[in-house]
């Protein structure tokens, strides 16, 4: 049986007078627990990505951390939104209490800490490979989970916050694959599907899949909970956080409870046009070139909405307050309208140069991208109180023109809970962060270069501890180095803060890097002889010469010479040196690459001590 690490002892802060063992928690988990000011005991364990328990955390390899919160009776405790991170321990480290207090007050961690929350970006390239990117890491280390081949084109590419995973549909194989974020390997969640053509996250780790002639609800383990027939292929529309609209090809549709699949409303064939959107209580669609709202409680009645021209695209926000409608006039001109759905009328509008590519509505801000224009148009609806909305264009780095590059999914992702989006221009490799608000700069708030092939789809995951049931949470982490580490978790001011030592797998110290040493051995008649030693490198063959390259750092001299063995080192033949600093390295062709030596061969250089 694998060894299980129950990290202990736990030091609990925030008003704690004493800490001890809780028998119920110990009996349940085999590990220690102690109480904090909120009366909670915290225990933790480690596992690899496949779920096998670990006795020690590996170094430079991802692993899982599981937290278990229990009350005084040993029962699972209800905890909302705990925060956790790993911090290295050393002689100059602050106390756990000070670290937790500083993190709560400033919202920032030390540069050496390893957060178990933050922003992960998931990109897909044209070869159907997924990269998980941390945009806040240095450029050389932004790809934190390597390149993961997905084995087929996407029929759905979404992040599931309740699972902490990327969910990827493969219609060619008829299955759905999940990838844990920010580190993980693909695993098949469900197979034998007719599609899927679209995916939508549901509460409690459940998932909706749109198929050829059905809409299917999967549970956390991938089993089918519900399968409803619809003329396909089926299209899924979000209808607020608690509902969704499944639309069939023949204009029929079902408004469903997102968590249970209960049918809220049925729309007869022909009631929904291909151009449609949904709010928590209605469907927005087109009838005889008019924008109409069809309420869920009266699906046979149309409610006209004010939008000029014939609607060709509709987007609605999660709360059902705002809608963006693109319309085409008889002259062919395009116009974009902003509708206040609470008032049921148009509150703003402007001409559009072309059909928008993507639209995201966050709070009182609308973000629009365009097929040929490398900009994000930001519409600030909060300014409507002052008479008119503020509109600005934010420039993007990337190709312009009508066909900038391939795409297989969204290229703009909301950074909820911020009023901001992450955007990559199709064909480009620059990730932009664009903030809401009018009157700001036309430059993005942030522009980050990504390595690898140009992305063809983008998703964002505001990473946090993932709930695995009442009082149980899980996260993935990777330690950048060995040594002593501890886990800090806090439920907030006045709650429980625990510091738990992390057992870390011992790592052998790497051998010292080989290096060259050089000094002047003799000067005679304008010539110089150098003594050279190769430290911490592989032993040379007995009696073999060492071929070295002598390079004047001012570029005036480069030569290869054979240094003959002498004692524990080598000596060069006499040569006429330029009055300069010389770098001494091994000549080309050597498999050894020691750190070069630098020797001063200028006439006034001081003699090296013997």
The 10s digit of each residue's pLDDT in 521-553 is: 998 888 999 999 988 776 667 888 888 999 998
- Percent of residues, the chain, with pLDDT higher than 90: 46
Partners of 59 in the β-ladder = 479
For the stretch 164-199, pLDDT in tens is: 889 999 999 999 999 888 777 789 999 999 989 999
pLDDT of residue 367 exceeding 80, the answer is: yes
Q: How confident is the model at residue 267 (pLDDT cuts 50, 70, 90)?
A: very high
pLDDT at 15 over 70: no
Mean pLDDT for 9-34 is: 33
- Across 8-12, 218-222, 380-384, which has the greatest mean pLDDT? 218-222
**Average pLDDT estimate for 6-35:** 34
Q: Residue 605 — pLDDT band, cuts 50, 70, 90?
A: confident
| Whether 328 and 271 share a structural domain | yes
Is the confidence at residue 73, as pLDDT, over 70? yes
**548 and 486: one domain?**
no
Query: pLDDT above 70 covers what percent of the chain?
Result: 86
Is residue 415 domain-resident? no
Indicate the residue among 502, 527, 553 that finishes a domain. Answer: 502
Pick the residue with more confidence: 81 or 555?
555
Average pLDDT over residues 225-241: 94
Q: What global pTM score does this model have?
A: 0.69
Q: Is residue 593 located within the same domain as residue 532?
A: yes
Q: What pLDDT score does 30 carry?
A: 38
One domain, residues 272 and 249: yes
Contact 106, 440 (CB under 8 A): no
**493 and 572 fall within a common domain:** no
Among 122-131, 327-336, 442-451, 491-500, the range with the most confident prediction by mean pLDDT is 327-336
Domain count across the chain = 3
Which of 133-147, 256-270, 338-352, 391-405 has maximum average pLDDT? 256-270
Claim to verify: residue 497 and residue 519 sit in the same structural domain? no
Looking at per-residue confidence, does 27 or 480 come out higher? 480
Residue 1 has pLDDT above 60, yes or no: no
- At 17, the pLDDT band (50, 70, 90 cuts) reads very low
pLDDT of residue 26: 34
- Dihedral angle sign, alpha carbons of residues 446, 450, 455, 459: negative
Which pLDDT does position 610 carry in this prediction? 39
Q: CA–CA distance from 24 to each of 27, 74, 592 (Å)?
A: 5, 5, 60
- Report the pLDDT value the prediction gives residue 27, as an integer from 0 to 100: 37
Q: Answer yes or no: is pLDDT of 440 > 80.
A: no
In the prediction, which pLDDT does 22 show? 32
Q: Tell me if 608 is assigned to some domain.
A: no
For 518, the token pair is 């050089």
Provide the token pair at 284: 């927005």
For position 387, what pLDDT does the model report? 66
pLDDT-based confidence at 437, cuts 50/70/90? Answer: confident
DSSP string, 505-535: ---PPPPPPPEEEEEEEEEETTEEEEEEEEE
Mean pLDDT score of the chain: 84
pLDDT (0 to 100) of residue 530:
94
Q: Of the spans 137-151, 282-296, 588-602, which averages the highest pLDDT?
A: 282-296
CB distance 69 to 41 below 8 Å: yes
**Predicted confidence (pLDDT) at residue 140 exceeds the cutoff of 60:** no
- Residues 80 and 105 both lie in one domain: yes
Residue 311: is its pLDDT beyond 90? Answer: yes
Distances (CA, A) of 498 to 36, 102, 116, 264, 521: 8, 15, 15, 44, 62
* In a domain? residue 330: yes
Residue 591, pLDDT score? 56
Task: Find the domain containing 80 and state its range.
Answer: 11-115+467-502
311: domain CATH number is 2.130.10.10
Mark whether 478 and 525 lie in a shared domain.
no
Q: Tell me the CATH number at 581.
A: 2.60.40.10
**pLDDT at res. 210:** 96
For residues 83 and 487, give the distance between their C-alpha atoms in angstroms, rounded to a whole number: 11
pLDDT at 607: 63
The reply to whether 100 and 18 lie within a common domain is yes
**pLDDT score, position 340:** 93
3-state secondary structure of 599: strand
Same domain assignment for residues 27 and 100 = yes
Asked if residue 361 is part of any domain, the answer here is: no
Give the pLDDT score at 141. 52
Per-residue model confidence (pLDDT) at position 4 = 39
CA distance between the termini of the chain: 61
Residue 384 within any structural domain of the chain: no
Q: Which of 327, 352, 377 is the last residue of a domain?
A: 352
Task: Among 352, 386, 420, identify where a domain stops.
Answer: 352
User: 24: pLDDT confidence band, cut at 50, 70 and 90?
Assistant: very low
- Quick one: 480 and 574 in the same domain? no
């Amino acid at each position: 049986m694998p060894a299980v690490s129950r990290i202990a002892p736990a030091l609990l802060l925030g008003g704690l007078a004493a800490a001890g063992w809780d028998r119920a928690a110990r009996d349940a988990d085999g590990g220690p627990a102690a109480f904090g000011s909120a009366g909670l005991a915290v225990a933790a364990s480690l596992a690899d990505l496949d779920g096998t328990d670990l006795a020690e955390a590996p170094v430079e390899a991802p692993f899982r951390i599981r937290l278990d919160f229990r009350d005084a009776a040993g029962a699972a405790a209800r905890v909302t939104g705990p925060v956790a991170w790993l911090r290295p321990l050393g002689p100059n480290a602050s106390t756990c209490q000070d670290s937790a207090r500083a993190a709560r007050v400033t919202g920032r961690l030390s540069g050496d800490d390893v957060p178990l929350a933050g922003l992960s970006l998931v990109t897909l390239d044209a070869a159907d490979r997924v990269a998980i990117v941390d945009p806040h890491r240095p450029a050389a280390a932004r790809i934190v989970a390597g390149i993961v081949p997905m084995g087929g084109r996407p029929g759905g590419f979404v992040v599931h916050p309740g699972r902490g995973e990327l969910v990827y549909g493969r219609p060619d194989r008829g299955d759905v694959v999940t990838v844990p974020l920010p580190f993980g390997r693909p695993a098949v969640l469900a197979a034998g599907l007719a599609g899927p053509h679209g995916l939508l996250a549901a509460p409690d780790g459940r998932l909706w899949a749109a198929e050829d002639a059905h809409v299917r609800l999967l549970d956390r383990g991938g089993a089918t909970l519900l399968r409803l027939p619809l003329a396909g292929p089926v299209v899924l529309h979000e209808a607020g956080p608690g509902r969704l609209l499944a639309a069939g090809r023949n204009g029929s549709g079902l408004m469903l409870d997102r968590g249970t699949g209960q049918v809220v409303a049925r729309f007869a064939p022909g009631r929904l046009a291909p151009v449609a959107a949904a709010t928590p209580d209605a469907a927005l669609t087109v009838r005889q070139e008019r924008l109409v709202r069809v309420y869920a409680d009266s699906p046979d009645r149309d409610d006209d909405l004010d939008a000029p021209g014939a609607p060709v695209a509709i987007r609605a926000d999660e709360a059902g307050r705002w809608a963006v409608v693109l319309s085409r006039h008889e002259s062919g001109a395009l116009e974009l309208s902003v509708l206040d759905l609470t008032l049921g009328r148009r509150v703003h509008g402007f001409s559009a140069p072309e059909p928008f590519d993507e639209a995201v509505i966050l709070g009182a801000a609308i973000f629009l991208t365009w097929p040929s224009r490398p900009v994000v148009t930001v519409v600030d609806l909060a300014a409507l109180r002052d008479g008119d909305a503020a509109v600005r264009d934010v420039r993007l780095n990337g190709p312009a023109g009508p066909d900038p590059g391939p795409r297989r999914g969204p290229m703009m992702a909301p950074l909820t809970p911020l009023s901001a989006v992450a955007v990559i221009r199709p064909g480009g490799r620059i990730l932009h962060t664009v903030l809401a608000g009018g009157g700001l700069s036309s430059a993005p708030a942030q522009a980050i270069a990504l390595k690898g092939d140009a992305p063809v789809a983008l998703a964002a995951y505001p990473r946090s501890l993932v709930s695995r049931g009442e009082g149980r949470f899980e996260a993935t982490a990777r330690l950048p180095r060995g040594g002593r580490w501890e886990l800090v978790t806090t439920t907030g001011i006045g709650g429980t803060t625990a510091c738990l030592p992390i057992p870390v797998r011992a790592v052998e110290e790497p051998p010292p890097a080989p290096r060259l040493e050089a000094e002047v051995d003799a000067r005679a008649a304008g010539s110089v002889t150098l003594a050279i030693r190769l430290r911490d490198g592989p032993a040379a063959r007995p009696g073999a010469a060492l071929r070295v390259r002598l390079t004047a750092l001012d570029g005036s001299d480069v030569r290869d010479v054979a240094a003959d063995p002498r004692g524990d080192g080598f000596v060069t033949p006499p040569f006429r040196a330029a009055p300069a600093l010389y770098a001494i390295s091994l000549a080309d062709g050597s498999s050894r690459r020691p750190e070069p030596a630098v020797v001063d061969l200028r006439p006034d250089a001081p003699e090296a001590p013997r």
